[in-house]
Amino acid sequence: MPHGGVMSSEVSLVHVLKHRRTLTEPEVRYYMRQLAEGVAYVHQQQVIHRDLKLGNMFLTEDMVMKIGDFGLATRVDDNRNVTICGTPNYIAPEVLNKLGHSYEADIWAMGCIMYALLVGQPPFETETLKETYSRITTNKYVIPPLISDAARHLIRRFLHPDPNARPRLDQVVNHEFFTTGVVPRSLPSSACTQVPKFGLEIIGKSVSMPEQQMQQQQQTMLPQSQSQHPLNQDIKKITTSVSTLRIPNPKPQLDKISILDGGLGSPPTSRPTTATSKEENRKKDSGGTLSSCLRQKLSSVICTTDNKASAGNLVGKKRDITSGTLYNLLAACLDNMPDDISSNPPVQSYTPLFISKWIDYSNKYGFGYQLSDHSVGVFFNDLTRISISTDKSRVEFTDSAGRLTVQQAGALPAWLQERYQLLRYFATYMEENLTEAGDARSARAATSRASVIPHVRRWDRTPKSIIMQLSNGTFQINFFKDHTKIVIAGDRTDVSVMFISSDRQSFTYRLTQIAELGCDAMVRERLVYALSCLRQYAELDGEEV
């Protein structure tokens, strides 16, 4: 269909991204499908746009996207135009190398647009034009771990350095990114400033929740009393492929640049250079011991309370432990810890609250999980969340704007019943089919009396691991290959690191003691991996690290 002419609105995707920062994957499908149709029409007229970018994607009052600004457009002839023109962040490498424009340069720009919508900025954007061009010509960019496999693959196709290897427009709209996920028929104008509210029947995937295709099909028999429930068939489709730490992701590794793709076979010889600059002189410049330095750092970012306060009153308080905070503390630890240590510090007598079971059912509803205190939650694809307390008496619902509603389980309002039923079926499946991820018997008893149940804030699944972060700041990585896990959690006065072995034994260490005494290679390399993840999360949250 033709895209162009007079715009009925001056709102462009630049304005949308300014308010939203990132878009959900259903929205990106909505815009990218229209963009593909518009570019196909332009190319049918033997015209190359040469300046496709967010600022030239305009929205009408009905949220229909139109391609504008054909000031740099040119017709295709036998001799390719070798003029270097366009917006730097969207210029294709063959244009920079003076090989000329052709249709493939517009395809490249579409990849930059898709990346920007999902991540919040173009893939090659830097502070200098020279560095941006260098990254374009060397194809150097990082796809954050939060992007789904299908979206990741399509971006890689769009941004292939060989123009002939980029997808045709008919291949784009038939890519699994479009065919396996929800494509909204329309969007409300409010989507320019806030996440649209999808109904349960068309819940989409957000950037925080990558879509995972079911790898196997297994029928799970439910009790006879539940057999006629309308959700029965959906629950039966939940397979063992999404159970905790038992089935590795068999998909081919598509992201070859992301720092998260480093292997976990042998201990790394050094930490990534990106994480050393701020903390490498901490020990040398410090007047006191490393332990006291880290404690001072911790006390400035973790809620402190009167020593006489009860533990039960402490757990529910909000802790200011962000991804950036954990990154900086972990970086300081790894920078200062002694090398070549084959043992670990003394094991603490408690285990922090962690995710002991999970189900990735994001192809339809969302991500279900059980915490080590046996509270259960679901992170729905529309960014709402529901949790039920350990004693099953209290239900908490958080809407997409973060507003919390607390209800008694026996007196739920009608509008919450459907999600509550989904929560119950997630809980039943995990209880009957999944094994606890670690030993939680020594977990602090106060966690079950929290005034607010911690919920999953974000999660991501890579070929090697699943990465999860709770609303209380706890950061957890489960590794598929050997079924080990690492949990980094903030306490009132310290940060703890829990390592769960392949045989599900839990070992909790204080971060300050790891910094002072070191740790063995298995724990260390997983902390290095966690540092890489935390850095990307912190950058996505706009934190300086």
DSSP label at 242?
A: G
- Domain total of the chain: 1
450 strand-pairing partners:
none
The amino acid occupying position 212 is: Q
- pTM score, two decimals? 0.48
The answer to whether position 176 is within a domain reads yes
Q: Is 467 helix (H, G, I), strand (E, B) or coil?
A: strand
Pick 127 or 499 by higher pLDDT.
Answer: 499
pLDDT tens digits, 414-448: 999 999 999 998 998 888 888 877 665 444 444 44
How far apart CA 152 and CA 459 sit, in angstroms, is: 16
What are φ and ψ of residue 249, in 5° steps?
A: -75, 115
C-beta separation of 341 from 519 below 8 A? yes
508 strand-pairing partners:
498
Paired tokens of 4: 């162009």
pLDDT tens digits, 252-278: 333 322 333 334 433 333 333 333 343
C-beta separation of 117 from 28 below 8 A? yes
Residue with tokens 């040469």: 50
How far apart CA 44 and CA 62 sit, in angstroms, is: 26
Q: Find, among 127, 120, 133, the residue nearest to 92 by Cα.
A: 133
Mean pLDDT, rounded, for 31-47: 92
Percent of the chain with pLDDT strictly greater than 90: 41
Paired tokens of 220: 């799970």
51 part of the active site: yes
Greatest distance between any 2 Cα atoms in the chain: 82
The answer to whether position 78 is within a domain reads yes
How far apart CA 319 and CA 379 sit, in angstroms, is: 21
The answer to whether position 181 is within a domain reads yes
**166, pLDDT greater than 50:** yes
Mean pLDDT, rounded, for 307-335: 64
Q: Which domain holds residue 141?
A: 13-185
H or E, element range at 133: helix 129-138
The answer to whether position 474 is within a domain reads no
How far apart CA 465 and CA 262 sit, in angstroms, is: 11
What is the domain-level CATH number for residue 171? Answer: 1.10.510.10
C-beta separation of 460 from 359 below 8 A? no
How far apart CA 543 and CA 88 sit, in angstroms, is: 26
pLDDT tens digits, 45-72: 888 988 899 999 999 989 999 998 887 8
The answer to whether position 35 is within a domain reads yes
The answer to whether position 361 is within a domain reads no
- Start-end of H helices in 311-413: 311-315, 323-336
What's the pLDDT at 77? 67
As a whole number, the mean pLDDT across the chain is 75
How far apart CA 407 and CA 180 sit, in angstroms, is: 35
Mark residue 423 as left, alpha or beta (left: phi above 0; alpha: psi -120 to 50; beta: remaining). alpha
Pick 335 or 463 by higher pLDDT.
Answer: 335
How far apart CA 103 and CA 513 sit, in angstroms, is: 58
The answer to whether position 104 is within a domain reads yes
The answer to whether position 120 is within a domain reads yes
pLDDT tens digits, 273-304: 333 343 443 333 333 333 444 444 333 333 33
* Residue 476 Cα distances to 168, 402, 485, 488, 532, angstroms: 40, 22, 7, 6, 13
How far apart CA 276 and CA 413 sit, in angstroms, is: 52
If you count them, how many residues does the chain have? 545
